[in-house]
Each structure stands twice: as C-alpha cells, then as structure tokens.
C-alpha cells in the first residue's frame, strides 16, 4: 500500500512540475538558506569580537 502512495505522489509531481521548475525551486530554497547562514555567521562573529574588545 505504501508503494502505491509513493508512486501516486511521484506521478502527480511529474505531471505538475517540469524538471526545470523543480530544479529552480530547489536552487531558490538553497540560495536563501545560504544567505541566511552567512548572515547568521557574520552576526555571531561580530558579537564575539565586540565582547572581546569590551573585556
């Protein structure tokens, strides 16, 4: 029964999304996630260095 469920989801996604749209969606999500991580690391580093200067 689980195989039919997986197959029906796969067929539905293949019919609704072309391969280019699927890849575009994945890269957009990856790009925004990467930008968020870089900003978070920069903020953390700035906090660490600002605490070190105040001591």
* Residue 4, pLDDT score: 63
- pLDDT tens-digit readout, 4-49: 677 777 777 667 766 677 677 777 778 888 889 899 999 999 998 8
pLDDT band at 55 (very low <50, low <70, confident <90, very high): low
Residue 2 has pLDDT above 80, yes or no: no
pTM equals 0.49
DSSP-assigned letters across all residues of the chain: -HHHHHHHHHHHHHHHS-HHHHHHHHHHHHHHHHHHHHHHHHHHHHHHHHHHHH-
Domain spans of the chain, in order of start: 18-55
């Amino acid at each position: 029964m689980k195989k039919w469920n997986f197959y029906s989801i796969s067929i539905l996604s293949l019919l609704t999304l072309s391969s280019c749209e699927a890849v575009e969606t994945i890269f957009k999500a990856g790009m925004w996630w990467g930008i968020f991580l870089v900003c978070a690391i920069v903020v953390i580093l700035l906090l660490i260095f600002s605490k070190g200067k105040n001591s």
